[in-house]
Amino acid sequence: MEKLNKEHKPHCLILPYPLQGHINPMLQFSKRLAHKGIRTTLVTTKYLYKVLQESLGSIPVETISDGYDNGGVVEAGSTEAYIEKFREVGPKTLTELIEKLNNSSDTAVDCIIYDPFFPWDLDVSKKFGLVGAAFLTQSCAVDLIFYYVYKGEIKLPITENEIKVLGLPVLESSDMPSFIYDYGSYATAFEVVLNQFQNVEKADWALVNTFNKLEQEVIDWMENFWRVKAIGPTIPSIYLDQRLLNDKEYGFSILKPDTDACKKWLDERQNRSVIYVSFGSLVRLEVKQMEELAKGLIMSNKCFLWVVRESEESKLPENFADETSKKGLIVSWCPQLEVLAHDSVGCFITHCGWNSTLEALSLGVPMVAMPCWSDQSTNSKFVSDIWKTGIRTRADDKGIARDTEIMRCVELVMDGDEGKEIRSNAIKWKEMAREAVDKGGSSDRNIEEFVSALVNPIN
Ligand code: UDX
């Protein structure tokens, strides 16, 4: 399968929603397809293309318009306006792009791998008679919950505290995605996550960024209604101790990482001695939470590498960076995979965004889970109670994880006897993640099946 002996290589367009947490996994998946002989082209918005030109490297990219070519969502002024305009302009410009590419037999499009945050991508693909593959960027557990809400099988508001969802362990209300409870405040985001399931039944494939052993029960259940294939984790293979692909470059970083400073600083630290702290690309912490976290890090008396995005910097306690410079390094963005793969890192304080969760799990780093919103509580539940590769901080009655609690959790996962099981599970899951994407592993076989269907279409 590695080398396709055909004149026309099947050509897939990859269409992620323009957010870091969606671009990363879809881009990595496209590299895996390219490695198996499929031609892939990443499609992004005209605005992001301008912003990211520097980091594009050799990745083939085409653009469509979201209607805000000079500033994206900032130009739109609100997510609502952005989504509405994208819905109007996106299908038109995607149609034009496919028509342009279809003018040459070399670039003619065979398949659209789309982010179901934009279900209209599938309508466009069907209009052209293309294969349409939904690529779901969150965990299967979270997808299933939203699917049942969309179908009306989970009715809102939920009043009971124990929620039984077929295919999932019993969940408490604090384990459910936050939108289920605060849908009033996040109406647009909630509509987008639910609308993913508008037409996913019509997609030829539902690709999920997970692996069979990680979410077996829920994947089995999903197979009842979709042609679901687990193809993850979409971590560049070089980080999984493989040398299959020359794919170290993650590509398409919206924020600029402070790579040299992080590497130099980590190289000077002892094995497993550093706490890595990051809340991904979107979370905004409350000032009080930031203060407690800062105090907790100092109380732990350990070294820490903390990603504080520029937009969050003003919430740091005054002079904190200077006063803690002997123990801590604060950067505005880092090469997260390189950091997690570094021997000095012994624990990850994370919001449990799905990418961060999968990355830590695949690289064997125990987690202290501090979920903030969206799917993160559900991911934390699985980290702490199902996969047991981390512990979730307990919040006080104001929803804040206090300094002593943060210190307790860090000590437990890094040093304590109680944390031994967590540390050994972290290694176990790392092995299983690697096996899944290794040649002949479950995700690799699923990718082969997808590729094979593209190369040898039935009609
Ligand atoms: C969002 C949601 O918040 C998350 O809950 C959902 O599952 C996906 O979309 P985000 O908050 O950015 O994503 O978190 P996450 O899913 O963890 O993705 C962040 C990505 O940015 C990861 O791939 C991570 O490696 C990368 N990253 C993060 C960096 O490269 N450098 C950093 O300093 C921090």
- The verdict on pTM exceeding 0.80 is yes
Q: What angle do CA 181, 187, 193 make, to 5 degrees?
A: 85
**Structure confidence at residue 63 (pLDDT):** 97
Distance 20 CA to ligand 1 centre (A): 6
- CB 207, CB 329: distance < 8 Å: no
Q: How many CB atoms lie within 10 A of CB 70?
A: 9
**Structure confidence at residue 52 (pLDDT):** 80
Could you tell me what percent of the chain has a pLDDT over 70? 95
Per-position DSSP letters for 366-405, written without gaps between them: -EEE---STTHHHHHHIIIIIS-SEEEPPP-TTS---HHH
pLDDT in tens, 8-45: 799 999 999 999 999 999 999 998 999 999 999 999 99
Question: Rg of the chain's alpha carbons, rounded to an integer?
Answer: 22
Q: How many CB atoms lie within 10 A of CB 232?
A: 28
Q: Is the pLDDT of residue 251 over 70?
A: no
DSSP 418: G
Cis peptide, bond prior to residue 119, ω within 30 of zero: no
Q: Tell me the C-alpha distance between 35 and 351, whole Å.
A: 32
Q: Whose CA is nearest to atom 1 of ligand 1?
A: 21
Ligand 1 touching residue 237 (CB < 6 A): no
Write 369-372 long-range contacts (CB < 8 A, 24+).
Answer: 369/393, 370/279, 370/293, 370/401, 370/406, 372/279, 372/283, 372/285
Nearest to 213 by CA among 456, 436, 453: 436
Instruction: Among 29, 281, 306, 380, say which to mutate for ligand 1: greatest number of ligand atoms within 8 Å of CB.
Output: 281
Structure tokens at 3: 């080398």
Distance 23 CA to ligand 1 centre (A): 10
Instruction: Among 192, 262, 355, say which to mutate for ligand 1: greatest number of ligand atoms within 8 Å of CB.
Output: 355
Using alpha carbons, list the distances in angstroms from residue 320 to 10, 293, 295: 53, 12, 10
Give catalytic status of residue 115 as yes or no.
Answer: yes
Ligand 1 touching residue 333 (CB < 6 A): yes
**Structure confidence at residue 51 (pLDDT):** 85
**Structure confidence at residue 2 (pLDDT):** 39
Distance 204 CA to ligand 1 centre (A): 28
* Amino acid at the residue 133: A
From 22, 110, 204, 342, active-site residue? 22
**Structure confidence at residue 253 (pLDDT):** 77
Whether this model's ipTM surpasses 0.85 comes out as yes
* Amino acid at the residue 213: K
- CB 444, CB 36: distance < 8 Å: no
**Structure confidence at residue 71 (pLDDT):** 95
Per-position DSSP letters for 315-338, written without gaps between them: GSPTTHHHHTTTTEEEES---HHH
pLDDT band at 5 (very low <50, low <70, confident <90, very high): very low
Ligand 1 touching residue 51 (CB < 6 A): no
Distance 428 CA to ligand 1 centre (A): 23
**Structure confidence at residue 247 (pLDDT):** 59
Structure tokens at 153: 């099988």
pLDDT in tens, 108-132: 999 999 999 999 999 999 999 999 9
* Average pLDDT of span 366-372: 98
Q: Whose CA is nearest to atom 20 of ligand 1?
A: 21
**Strand 205-208 with 131-136, pairing:** parallel
Q: Return the axis-axis angle of helices 354-362 and 420-437, rounded to nearest 10°.
A: 100
Using alpha carbons, list the distances in angstroms from residue 444 to 110, 114, 206, 451: 21, 20, 15, 10
DSSP reduced 3-state for 40 = strand
Ligand 1 touching residue 359 (CB < 6 A): yes
Distance 130 CA to ligand 1 centre (A): 31
pLDDT in tens, 408-425: 999 999 998 989 999 999
Q: Return the axis-axis angle of helices 403-414 and 287-300, rounded to nearest 10°.
A: 50
Ligand 1 touching residue 210 (CB < 6 A): no
Ligand 1 touching residue 353 (CB < 6 A): yes
Ligand 1 touching residue 138 (CB < 6 A): yes
Structure tokens at 36: 């198996």
Q: Tell me the C-alpha distance between 379 and 351, whole Å.
A: 9
**Structure confidence at residue 243 (pLDDT):** 61
Distance 269 CA to ligand 1 centre (A): 25
- Give the bridge partners for 128, in sequence order: none
Q: How many CB atoms lie within 10 A of CB 323?
A: 13
Using alpha carbons, list the distances in angstroms from residue 180 to 72, 135, 148, 149, 155: 27, 22, 11, 8, 10
Instruction: Among 17, 20, 55, 115, say which to mutate for ligand 1: greatest number of ligand atoms within 8 Å of CB.
Output: 20
From 11, 66, 110, 115, active-site residue? 115
Distance 354 CA to ligand 1 centre (A): 7
Of residues 293 and 242, the one with the higher pLDDT is 293
Distance 410 CA to ligand 1 centre (A): 21
Length of the chain: 459
Nearest to 252 by CA among 450, 55, 88, 115: 55
pLDDT in tens, 152-200: 999 999 999 999 998 899 999 999 999 999 888 899 999 999 999 999 9
Q: Return the axis-axis angle of helices 20-35 and 442-455, rounded to nearest 10°.
A: 70
Q: Tell me the C-alpha distance between 175 and 31, whole Å.
A: 33
Give catalytic status of residue 397 as yes or no.
Answer: no
Q: Whose CA is nearest to atom 18 of ligand 1?
A: 21
Residue bearing tokens 């289920």: 180
Q: Is the pLDDT of residue 393 over 90?
A: yes
| Biggest distance spanned by C-alpha atoms of the chain | 67
Specify the ligand 1 atom closest to the Cα of 350. 17
Q: Is the pLDDT of residue 223 over 60?
A: yes
Ligand 1 touching residue 278 (CB < 6 A): yes
Nearest to 298 by CA among 335, 261, 333, 325: 325
First to last CA, the chain: 20
